[in-house]
Structure 1
C-alpha cells in the first residue's frame, strides 16, 4: 500500500473507515483484505478514527502505572547437614557442583571458618593442577608441523637448511603483524645497539622497524639479482644504517602499515630464490658496506635481526614473544662466535683490546641452542700450536644473543666468569660490538 492509500484512510471523516477501504480495493481490482505493515488483518488493528494508530505506541512501564512491583523470587539455598557440605568442598573447588549445591556450599563457607580454610586450600591445589597456559603457540610448532608434513611428502624444491631460520623468523613476525591496527603500527620503538663501547639508540615506530628490515634485507636481494627496495642507490657500498636512513628520509611521511606488503613479498622472494639456486649459492658474497658475509651467513644474520626486532615490536605493544627454536638459536650463536675473532682484531687495531698472542677463551652457552666454542683471542704464533686457554665464560643462550644485539651492556651481562679478567672483558665487549642498527 502506498502513501496515498494511507493518507486516504486517515483523511476519511465519517464512518469506521471500512467503506473507504472497500472503494479503494475495488478501484485497484483487489478482492482480498488489505495488509498492514505493523499489525494483523483484524478490525482492531486497522487504522481509522475508531481504531488504534497504525504504529502501536510504546508500552507503559510498570513504574508508571502506580502498581506495586512484583517481588523478586530469590533461590533459597539447599538445607544440608554439615558433613554433607564438607564432603562437597572438593567438588565445589573443581566447579563440579550443581548450581543449588554451589549456593549451599558458598552460604556455608560464610559461617564455618574451618570449611572456609579447607575450601581455600582446595582451590589453591586446583590451581596447581591446572597451571595457567599461554595462548601463544609454541615457536617450534611451525617447524614440527612442517617437518611432519615433509616426512610424508618431501618438497620438490626444498628450502636449504641455512635459510630455514630466516623462513621461520619472518613467518613468526608476519603472524605477529597480522592483527595490528593503526595504533599499533605507530607505536614508538627504540632501536638499540653499541657503538664505540657506548649504548646508542634510534627512535622510530613499528612501521619504521619493518622498513628497516626491508632495506637491510635488500642487501641480500641485490646479491641474488632481485630488485632493491631503495631503487638506485648512489653510494657504492652502503651500510645497513645508511640504507635505512635513506629510506626513512625519502618518504614525506613516516612509514605506515603499507610497508608490510613489500617486506613480506621480499622475504618470500628471498626464500624462493635461494631454494631454486640450492646449496652452491650459499658461498655467494653479500656486501654489508664495510664487511662481507657469505649468503649462508647473511641469511642467518637476517634471521637473527628479524627475531631481535620482532622482540622490540612485541615489547612496544606489550605482547609476549618467544625465542627461536633451539636448532635455529644454535646456528645464530654459532655465527656470532665465528665473527668474534674478527671483532677482537678490529678492537685491538683501535687500541681497545690488550695484546693476547697465542691465548684463547672458552665460551660456554647454556640452555636451548647451547654449546661450547673456543674463541682465539689472537692467532697462534706458529701453525700446529693450540692457543692456551686463559679464561672460561658461561652465558645463557638468549642472554648471549641480547648482548650481541646491543640490548644488554657488557658490564651487566649475567655471565659466569673464570680466569683472565681482561680477556673476559675484551670478549664481552667484542660481542656487544657485533650489534648495529
Structure 2
C-alpha cells in the first residue's frame, strides 16, 4: 500500500502535492550550491583589480580565493589625489591611485604638484625670518657688488656701518624712536652718562658727522656758526631742536652719510690726508671716517639694546682697522693724562723715533692682533724689545673700553708686568671716549 509521501495517489484519489493549511507537503526542487553565491563561479570583471584576501588568523585556514572588485573611474581616482598626497587614503585607495598614476600622465603631473605643495605645510617649522638675515645679505652684497665708482678702501668701514645702522632703523617702529637710551663715556677717572632717545642718538651722529662734511666743503647741518667740539655740537642740536627728535631725523642723517661717501669716492686719493678738526684735536680724513664708522657701530649697539634687537660686531677686517686706530691714538692720550696729573711720570727721556718703554697690547678674537704702545713719549716707537708689561683683551671688549662702555678695571682679561703702566694704558684707552 502506498504511503502519503511516495508521490502516488492516496486512497482518497488526491496526489501528494495537496496543501495542508497552505503549506506544500512536498518541497520544490532545491537550488544548487553555486546558485547561492553567483560571484563565486564568475571570472573577474574586465578592468578589475584583484584584492587579496585578508591574512588568516592562526586558528583559521587561509583563504584560497581572491576577491575581485571593479576599478574606480578616472574621475573618482582624480578626486582622491589630494587625499593621496596627504597620505590620507586607505590601503585599497592608495593601491588603486598609484596603479592609475602609472597609466595617466595628467594625473601623475597633478600628483607631483600636490606632493610638492604638501612638503611646504610643516606646522612645526618657525616661519619667522632670522633677525640677522638682513645684515648677512647686506654684508654679502657690499662685499660682492662692484661699484661703478669704487669707494676708497679707508672709507669702506663707514660705508658698511652706516648701511647696517640704516637697516636697523628701518626695522623699528614709530614708538621705538622715543625709547630711552643712556649714552656712556669716561671723563677723568669716572664714567659719566647722558639720557636721550633713539632719535636723539641719531641727532648726535648727524651733528658730529657734520664736522667731516665741513672739512669736505659740504653744508654743515648745524649751520656755519656751529661749534667744532663734538660734545658742544650735540648739546647745541638738542637745545635748538623745536621738538624732541622723531623718526624724521633718519632721512637727513642718511642723506648726509650717502653724500659723504659719494664725495670722498669722487675726490681722488689726495683727500685722504685732509685734516678734520674736532676742536681740541684733529684727524686726517682717512682716520676721521674710521672714527665715524666706530661711532656708528657703538651707537647702533646702544639703539639695539634699547629696542631689544640683535646686533653683530663689524667684520673682522673693519674691526681690526678700528682697533689699530685706537692703538695709534693711545700714546697721545697717555701723554694728555700725564700732563693732567692722571698718569704716572715718564721713566725715560727719548728722542723722536727712538725706542722707549712699551706695553704689549694683545687683542684676541676677530680683528685682533699685537700692538706695542709707547709709554714715555707720543713720539717714541713701541718695541717688543722694550716691553715692560702685557695686556690681553678680546677685540670687542677693547672697543667697548675705548667707547667708555666698560670700566678699565673690568676690561682686561690678562695682565702681566708693570702694574702702573697697565693701569695708565687702560685708563688712557677709556679717555678716548666722548659723547
TM-score, scaled relative to structure 2: 0.67
Residue 141 (structure 1) shift: 4.5
Distance 1:384 1:334 in 2: 14
Partner residue of 1:148 out of 126, 144, 147: 144
Counterpart in the other structure of 1:203: 195
Counterpart in the other structure of 1:406: 404
Q: Is the 8 A contact 1:376 1:387 kept in 2?
A: no
Q: Cα distance 1:218–1:384, how it changes in 2: closer, same or farther (>3 A)? A: closer
Distance 1:318 1:380 in 2: 41
Partner residue of 2:168 out of 167, 170, 176: 176
Q: Is the 8 A contact 2:358 2:382 kept in 1?
A: no
Partner residue of 1:162 out of 141, 151, 154: 154
Deviations 1:213-271 (A, max 9, x none): 00000000000000000013254xx2101000001101132111111110000000000
Question: SS of the counterpart of 1:436?
Answer: coil
Residue 360 of structure 1 pairs with residue 358 of structure 2: yes
Distance 2:203 2:329 in 1: 26
Q: Is the 8 A contact 1:360 1:389 kept in 2?
A: yes
Distance 1:254 1:381 in 2: 45
Partner residue of 1:137 out of 109, 133, 137: 133
Partner residue of 2:186 out of 186, 194, 218: 194
Counterpart in the other structure of 1:286: 276
Distance 1:312 1:293 in 2: 25
Residue 415 (structure 1) shift: 2.1
1:227-376 aligned at under 5 Å gives the runs 227-233=219-225, 235=227, 238-355=228-345, 356-357=347-348, 358-376=356-374
How many residues get paired? 307
Q: Is the 8 A contact 1:410 1:429 kept in 2?
A: yes
Residue 332 (structure 1) shift: 0.4
Q: Cα distance 1:147–1:348, how it changes in 2: closer, same or farther (>3 A)? A: same
Distance 2:426 2:282 in 1: 23
Distance 2:158 2:133 in 1: 18
If you compute each CA radius of gyration, which structure gives the higher value, 1 or 2? 2
Counterpart in the other structure of 2:108: none
Q: Is the 8 A contact 2:177 2:246 kept in 1?
A: yes
Q: Cα distance 1:354–1:319, how it changes in 2: closer, same or farther (>3 A)? A: same
Residue 138 (structure 1) shift: 7.4
Q: Cα distance 1:250–1:346, how it changes in 2: closer, same or farther (>3 A)? A: same
Q: Cα distance 1:383–1:341, how it changes in 2: closer, same or farther (>3 A)? A: closer
Deviations 1:17-72 (A, max 9, x none): xxxxxxxxxxxxxxxxxxxxxxxxxxxxxxxxxxxxxxxxxxxxxxxxxxxxxxxx
Distance 2:182 2:381 in 1: 46
Q: Is the 8 A contact 1:139 1:323 kept in 2?
A: no
Structure 1: where are the runs of 5+ without partners?
1-96, 101-129
1:117-128 aligned at under 5 Å gives the runs none
Q: Cα distance 1:159–1:382, how it changes in 2: closer, same or farther (>3 A)? A: closer
Partner residue of 1:418 out of 416, 429, 435: 416
Distance 1:178 1:257 in 2: 10
Residue 140 (structure 1) shift: 5.6
Q: Cα distance 1:290–1:133, how it changes in 2: closer, same or farther (>3 A)? A: same
Q: Is the 8 A contact 1:139 1:324 kept in 2?
A: no
Deviations 1:63-93 (A, max 9, x none): xxxxxxxxxxxxxxxxxxxxxxxxxxxxxxx
Distance 2:263 2:398 in 1: 31
Distance 1:306 1:274 in 2: 18
Partner residue of 2:432 out of 428, 431, 434: 434
Structure 2: where are the runs of 5+ without partners?
1-85, 90-125, 349-355
Residue 413 (structure 1) shift: 1.0
Distance 1:158 1:279 in 2: 12
Q: Cα distance 1:203–1:383, how it changes in 2: closer, same or farther (>3 A)? A: closer
Question: SS of the counterpart of 2:434?
Answer: coil
Residue 379 (structure 1) shift: 3.2
Q: Is the 8 A contact 2:335 2:378 kept in 1?
A: no
Residue 134 (structure 1) shift: 4.5
Counterpart in the other structure of 2:95: none
Distance 1:161 1:215 in 2: 24
- RMSD over equivalenced CA pairs, Å: 2.6
Question: SS of the counterpart of 1:178?
Answer: helix
Q: Cα distance 1:380–1:136, how it changes in 2: closer, same or farther (>3 A)? A: closer
Residue 354 (structure 1) shift: 1.1
Distance 1:365 1:382 in 2: 21
